[in-house]
């Protein structure tokens, strides 16, 4: 029910709202020490009315940061590819799902995310404990579990609209808190990132 409500609010945003927010989010995210010192950042290309990420991706890439983007596999797990600018993206229509922009180059394997210094996670909400509510497909739950199994501890950051930071989201035993949420009005930290 919470997912549906959050998606309905997002669907009411205009293209101008999304564009304006994307620039604010990029500025705030780029000021994070975790991103400023990162050599590799795993991120994603926003779709629809998600908080926009292309400005952030382009700036990270221009800084010489290796940006990894997900490639959705048939089993809902994620492979990864390098971002080389907007021209390196291909629109992929996944069966029964939305079309995604994915890197068109070499596939680096699901384990590539283990080498990221920071991981930008999509989400619909984050609560006061840092628990993230995703879309429900489980792709990023797999990513977080993979990072934990590998002993990797990158900074975990979610980009959201201000109204999507809520008191509490439903939680399952496999859920893991994020380190920070970036919204147009600021950054909120939940635990110290390395």
Residue 75 neighbours by CB under 8 Å, 6+ apart: none
Residue 190 neighbours by CB under 8 Å, 6+ apart: 129, 130, 177, 178, 179, 180, 181
User: Any known ligand binding at 136?
Assistant: yes
For the segment 77-125, what is each residue's pLDDT rounded down to a tens digit?
A: 999 999 999 899 999 988 776 789 999 999 999 999 999 999 999 999 9
The pLDDT score that the predictor gives to residue 175 is 82
User: Any known ligand binding at 161?
Assistant: no
The pLDDT score that the predictor gives to residue 86 is 86
The pLDDT score that the predictor gives to residue 67 is 98
Residue 194 in domain? no
User: Any known ligand binding at 102?
Assistant: no
Quick one: DSSP state of residue 131?
B
What is the rounded average pLDDT of the residues 68-76? 94
- The overall average pLDDT reported for the chain is 92
Bridge-based pairing state of the strands 132-133 and 118-121: unpaired
Q: Which two tokens stand for residue 141?
A: 């739950």
List b or e across 77-106, with b for residues whose CB sees 16 or more CB atoms inside 10 angstroms. Answer: ebbbbbbeeeebbeeeeeeeeeebbbbeee
Confidence of residue 176 (pLDDT cuts 50, 70, 90): confident
User: Any known ligand binding at 168?
Assistant: no
User: Any known ligand binding at 50?
Assistant: yes
Domain range holding 71?
2-189
* Domain CATH code at residue 171: 3.40.50.10420
Nearest C-alpha neighbor of 150 from the set 125, 179, 119, 188 = 119
Residue 136 in domain? yes
Please count the structural domains in the chain: 1
Taken in order 154, 155, 161, 164, the sign of the CA dihedral is: positive
Residue 14 in domain? yes
**pTM, to two decimals:** 0.92
**Planar angle of CA 57, 58, 60, nearest 5 degrees:** 65
User: Any known ligand binding at 83?
Assistant: no
């Amino acid at each position: 029910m919470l997912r549906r409500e959050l998606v309905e609010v997002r669907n009411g945003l205009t293209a101008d709202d999304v564009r304006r927010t994307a620039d604010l989010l990029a500025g705030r995210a780029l000021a994070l020490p975790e991103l400023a010192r990162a050599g590799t950042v795993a991120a994603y290309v926003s779709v629809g009315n998600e908080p926009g990420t292309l400005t952030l991706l382009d700036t990270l890439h221009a800084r010489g940061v290796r940006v990894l983007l997900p490639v959705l596999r048939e089993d809902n797990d994620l492979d990864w590819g390098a971002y080389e600018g907007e021209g390196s993206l291909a629109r992929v229509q996944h069966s029964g799902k939305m079309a995604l922009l994915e890197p068109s180059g070499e596939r680096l394997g699901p384990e590539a995310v283990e080498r990221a210094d920071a991981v930008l996670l999509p989400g619909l909400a984050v609560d006061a404990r840092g628990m993230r509510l995703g879309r429900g497909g489980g792709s990023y739950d797999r990513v977080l579990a993979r990072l934990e199994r590998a002993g990797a501890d990158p900074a975990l950051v979610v980009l959201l609209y201000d109204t999507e930071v809520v008191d509490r989201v439903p939680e399952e035993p496999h859920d893991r808190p994020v380190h920070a949420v970036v919204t147009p009005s600021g950054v909120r930290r939940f635990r110290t990132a390395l």
